[in-house]
Amino acid sequence: MHVSQGRNAGLGLALLSAFTFGGSGVAAKPLIEAGLDPLHVVWLRVAGAALVMLPVAWRHRDLVLRRPGLLVGFGLLAVAGVQAFYFAALSRIPVGVALLVEFLAPALVRGWVRFVQHRPVSRAAVAGVMLAVAGLACVVEVWSGLSFDAVGLLLALGAACCQVGYFVLSDHGSEGENAADPIGVIAYGLLIGTAVLTVIARPWGMDWSVLGGQADMDGSRVPALALLGWIVLIATVVAYLAGVVSVRRLSPQVAGVVACLEAVIATVLAWVLLGEHLSAPQILGGAVVLTGAFIAQSSTPRAAAGEVAGSRPETASGRAGEAGVGGGQGVAVENGSERDAGPESELSAGRRGA
């Protein structure tokens, strides 16, 4: 009874995380169109969330000495990198398209494992990568000579690459007694991301008057501060925390499947609130991208029986519920065979730019 209630609560939190993350781009784009630079919007988002999470960072201040590499990697890639590239892409291409390109990350992780680390990947994983690429071709309508801004697409791809970098980084050193609390990592990631973005964005040159005015959402006027409040409090703080807690109640794999709804939610919200309509081939392509990404992140070659028997019951991603980090190559032993734990983890929310 209690287990069922816990899983239901975890599912609800995972859906909340997907919805709140998915709504960040819809709130950010009107601010960008009102005159704010995309980097300034990212800085406001990250700095505001870091300020809210400051008490959490103080509580986990031992992480600075215990896991400095993880904190820096999370701050640079999962916070500053992903969000800066994603918000920059929003200024040039539709919200849904930018997020769908970003969801190529699980497929790109498989490419890293196969061609850089020279490790085998399953046929299902290869099929997932091919599906994701084919779906992306439909999303960008390659038969029309790319119907979207090429620079915007490259920026979205940059966000996906930052995700890959974080997945690869977080695969190392997440096990043992030195495991890091994921909420503490998020708090410090936001602080480090703020420091990095302050140097890059130079917020002292921001047009602060925009925040005192209103922004246009498909003909409706909305207070800019209300949009900023949503981005900071709901689409960042609540989204991160809900994502972390949901994984603890479910599993990285189940939460990762629910996270795929983020792209759907973002596309629907952009359609309704911003008037960004996608064609039927683009919608079909988006579904194919998400299907391919799911297959790519959840497929792995079966290990030999002897190898499984000799495996430790916990590995990097298998300990995600405790350590709060996972990687694109991590595996967990289940029912006597290995299954891929995928690149999702308690910090999976942190790599999402939306």
Asked whether the beta carbons of 92 and 149 are under 8 A apart, the reply is: yes
More confident: 215 or 345? 215
- Dihedral angle, C-alpha 173, 175, 177, 178, nearest 10 °: 30
Q: What is the mean pLDDT of residues 91-113?
A: 81
* The pLDDT value given to residue 96: 82
For the whole model, what pTM was predicted?
A: 0.76
Measure Cα distances from 348 to 60, 62, 74, 244, 290 in Å.
20, 22, 11, 8, 16
Asked whether the beta carbons of 98 and 267 are under 8 A apart, the reply is: no
* Range list of H helices, the chain: 2-22, 24-33, 38-52, 54-59, 63-66, 68-73, 82-90, 95-102, 105-111, 123-139, 150-170, 182-201, 224-229, 239-249, 252-259, 261-274, 280-298, 305-310, 320-323
* The pLDDT value given to residue 142: 64
**How many CB atoms are located within 10 Å of the residue 68 CB?**
12
Rounded distance between C-alpha atoms, residue 14 and residue 300, angstroms:
24
How many residues belong to the chain? 354
More confident: 137 or 67? 67
* The pLDDT value given to residue 297: 64
Q: Write phi, then psi, for 223 (nearest 5 degrees).
A: -55, 130
Q: What is the mean pLDDT of residues 127-153?
A: 75
More confident: 147 or 222? 222
Q: Residue 197: which of 33, 45, 13 has the closest Cα?
A: 45
Rounded distance between C-alpha atoms, residue 213 and residue 224, angstroms:
6
Residue 36, C-beta contacts closer than 8 angstroms, at least 6 positions apart = 44, 206, 207, 210
Question: What confidence tens digit (pLDDT) does each residue in 216-269 have?
Answer: 998 899 999 999 999 999 999 998 888 888 777 775 556 666 767 788 888 888
* The pLDDT value given to residue 147: 62
Using the structure block, give the residue that is written with the tokens 């490790």. Answer: 119
Residue 145 has pLDDT above 80, yes or no: no
Residue 6 has pLDDT above 80, yes or no: no
Q: What is the mean pLDDT of residues 92-113?
A: 80
Largest CA distance in the chain: 66
Amino acid at 7: R
Residue 173 has pLDDT above 50, yes or no: no
How would residue 299 be classed by pLDDT, with cut points 50, 70 and 90? low
Question: What confidence tens digit (pLDDT) does each residue in 29-84 have?
Answer: 999 999 999 999 999 999 999 999 999 999 999 989 988 888 998 899 989 999 99
Residue 307 has pLDDT above 50, yes or no: no
Using the structure block, give the residue that is written with the tokens 């298998």. Answer: 318
Q: Is 309 helix (H, G, I), strand (E, B) or coil?
A: helix
Q: What is the mean pLDDT of residues 305-319?
A: 34
- Angle, vertex CA 33, rays to CA 32 and CA 39, nearest 5: 20
Question: What confidence tens digit (pLDDT) does each residue in 175-226 have?
Answer: 555 667 888 989 999 999 999 999 999 999 999 999 999 999 988 999 999 9
* The pLDDT value given to residue 104: 78
* The pLDDT value given to residue 287: 87
Residue 340 has pLDDT above 80, yes or no: no
Residue 137, C-beta contacts closer than 8 angstroms, at least 6 positions apart = 285
Residue 103, C-beta contacts closer than 8 angstroms, at least 6 positions apart = 132, 160, 260, 263, 289, 290, 293
Amino acid at 333: V
* The pLDDT value given to residue 167: 72
Average pLDDT, the chain: 77
